[in-house]
Structure 1
């Protein structure tokens, strides 16, 4: 739907936003549940190398399909084209701010060898767990284990996707960033890989911290993800975390992303 066609307070448009919410969440459930049973069966029998590659490809393609549904049916506009430049650039830590539950979906829809650091409850979720385990995503329940697992994946050429805030940004867009945790710096320092920053900006806080799943979005929803600065592997985790937080705060000054003509996702 055309962003300019929104009638503002129109009852019809409000109804469409409710329908779009149901369609969008249902589509995500269908995409994930279509793969989860197969992943559950294949995970214990496939060689680790084959399972890892298949799992990551399935996630990328499944989420790319889902993003296409959001664009076609749900008046969402995503500019993700900048991510394509990272596909063949080798192992690195990809650090992004985290305004919405959609962030990881959008990022992994473009990166074929991404490994996400995920909360333990998501790894145990029947919707995401089987696919995440097959792709060898990293369970975020112990810092030492996270660093070692990420280092092992990076040594095999993966790109680790992490949200340094540790959770979604509180009160977005009024607040643009939570204080950062040191995990990003520790992974990059121990693995001796660079940190590529991503700047994620949404037009509204849909599916952000405190936004219930059943609350309808404000459509059209737009999101732009752009490449930020790439930092060399840090030497000191404390100092680098401060530097990284200052950088994100500098980049995120200003209003949230306005409605725009976004590139095809």
Structure 2
């Protein structure tokens, strides 16, 4: 019933405060040790952009939106319809459902043209258990970058646990405390005459080089 301008503000405020409270509770109870200072700098960035994290776990969006509430998330339609996952607030905030790739690209492009900011997981789904560092990057992020010329901001999420990764049973308890690190890279622009496929290959190398480099929370292959 709210006008769109107020609905967007209301939805994003609800989600940010909900996620911030959740993260605070994890920290204060000693269940989570989180390094996410670089996200605070990202929140101050102006203009259209695609924030593109690797998708290590089900709750990745929680930690990012808690710090960067202006992001319009692209997520499965089933999540946006799930009241337990904040779905109604997500719909209110203008989040984009993925019910068809063509429709998703169309809506995302319209947002970027209007100088808005997107959160898009370039893997398309959570990193699979048997993936060494991450799943192959899908073409959606490259198509949007090529059609709008906006920068893609790689975000690298690392953890000492595979808690909530794809295939993790919901009943399985992880070892606490969970340790997470979220780092933000420099913007990546598609080059003149560079094809979407070439951009995907270049972007994928950036992720693999970073995620495979020495780090206390580097992913341990199974």
Same-fold status (TM-score > 0.5): yes
Aligned to 1:185: 142
Change (3 A) 1:257 1:187: farther
Q: Cα RMSD between the aligned structures?
A: 1.8
Q: Spell out, residue by residue over 1:58-100, the C-alpha distance to the aligned partner (whole angstroms, 9 max, x if none).
A: 2112101110011112520111110111223222001110111
Residue 256 of structure 1 and its aligned partner are, at CA, apart by 6.5
Q: Could you report, residue by residue, the CA deviation over 1:165-191 in whole angstroms, capped at 9, with x for unpaired residues?
A: 11111127x721101100111122222
Equivalent-residue separation in structure 2 for 1:170 and 1:232 (angstroms):
27
Please list, as runs of the form range in 1=range in 2, the aligned pairs for 1:101-250 lying within 5 A after superposition: 101-127=58-84, 128-171=86-129, 175-233=132-190, 235-250=194-209
Number of equivalenced pairs: 214
4+ residue runs over 3 A deviation: 254-259
Aligned residue among 35, 53, 61 for 2:9: 53
Higher helix share: 1
Tell me if structure 2 keeps the 8 A contact 1:147–1:190: no
Please tell me whether the aligned partners of residues 202 and 256 of structure 1 are also in contact (alpha carbons under 8 angstroms).
no
Distance in 1 (alpha carbons) for counterparts of 2:161 and 2:71: 26
Could you list the runs of 5+ residues in structure 2 that have no partner in the other structure? none
Runs (5+) with no aligned partner, structure 1:
1-44, 260-265
Alpha-carbon displacement from aligned partner over 1:188-226 (angstroms, at most 9, x marks no partner): 222221101101101110111111111111111011100
Distance 2:214 2:129 in 1: 13
Of the two, which has the highest radius of gyration?
Answer: 1
Find the aligned partners of 1:82 and 1:75 in 2 and give their Cα distance: 21
Counterparts of 2:44 and 2:88 in 1: how far apart (Å)? 26
Look up the SS of the partner of 2:124 in the other structure. Answer: coil
What SS does the corresponding residue of 2:163 show, helix, strand or coil? coil
